[in-house]
Amino acid sequence: MFEILKSFESKFGSLKKKGLRIEGLTMIDPKRKKHVINITKPFLFDNRLLPKTYEGLDIKSKIEGGLPEEFKIEKEALIKEYIWAPSKFEKYVDRCSEDIKKQFGNPAMSRKEMLDALAFGNFEDHIKKSTALMLEGKIPAFKLN
């Protein structure tokens, strides 16, 4: 299993320049002996550069550092408001597109590309998954733009 981690580090280690930190392996389910690769990254990170899984291990990521104002909510509001609501990504991209393009070094980046980069790799998938979770009652209701 450590060979998988070493392989992941050699393949994606260059992303450390962009703020990626590879934390290591963690067992998340002792009964099934399920492990994940833990990473930490800044909010403003192109998630399209990382896979969701690597050689059979899920990638579990945490955001390090502050969040833009669109994503900041009071702790008491967490049960009433979904922090990763798709509309928040849209508002942030609409407000800060020039900064995002500059951070990612791509002045020709489209709105869709920015949304995909920030919303876990694929914005449309994020909308579908979030809507399904909302309808199942697993996350607070949110409005789509």
Count how many Cα atoms sit within 13 Å of the Cα of residue 98 in the half-sphere of its side chain: 1
Strand order in the sheet with 53-54: 21-29, 34-42, 57-64, 53-54
- 0.85 exceeded by pTM: yes
Does the pLDDT of residue 93 top 90, yes or no? yes
Does the pLDDT of residue 78 top 70, yes or no? no
Mean pLDDT of 73-85: 79
